[in-house]
Structure 1
């Protein structure tokens, strides 16, 4: 073996030694970090004292007059979010969406008929969409109104729709 070969072998040995040194250093550099987290639930809003909210359109609806305006009924409910303090609150109406309009609740018996929930300004409350409230003491005025699919012909009979009213702290 000549001097050049010995020098080359020494360089390889140094290089391999450096690789082992760095590799070992990476493997040994670990530590355990523990987190202690406490999740708390915000104060609840009391919606209608825990009772179901019902809207009865009555028995006198003429199918030719159902147009999304006629037969509008106020949704009578109570809302108490006093314990929310300064927390922002948002509201959602969760339910099945009518196939003909994303802002209308589907009825169980009739796919061509639905129920729209409207805000005080007559704007639709989007089904499964969120509405940010101005404050925790704000109770949105809501109305419900029957709506038929465009160009549909309704048959007489009963109908029903259901939804869940949800309030969430932000």
Structure 2
């Protein structure tokens, strides 16, 4: 039993490890894998949206874990985002616990500005994931405050879902990559 638990912990921690810098060019298989990851993330965001709309407060652990993994996936395909989040050989978790926690407004604004420099949808998806973390309802606050936070969270989740959809569309196979076509 201990070995099973240890194996599960190692697998979970591997999901937190910093991704390697993105390659200069993605193969058709890598593009499709990334596209599928973004589609799967859209489904997760839709689940979060449904829960939020039903009045269920998402937890910091749930959204934090999702955001950490999403930032890893996004930064593995954007050299600028990779360099920013994983500066000084940090991990995504360290970025969230230090840079982001210390000044979330600055980090959100920085990702917004970075979107004007390229990879707009990837960087805006990262931005909206961070916005989601700032709108998590506090279960100790009043019902009205929780409802307002859920409304803000739903808006951020919708924007995140839209950007993930655009990323997936940007990574559709090119005409030459479609089965039955040749160069």
TM-score under structure 2 length normalisation: 0.26
Q: Which has the higher helix share?
A: 2
Determine which structure has the larger strand proportion and give its number. Answer: 1
Structure whose CA Rg is larger: 1
Pick 1 or 2: higher relative contact order, CA cutoff 8 A, min separation 6: 2
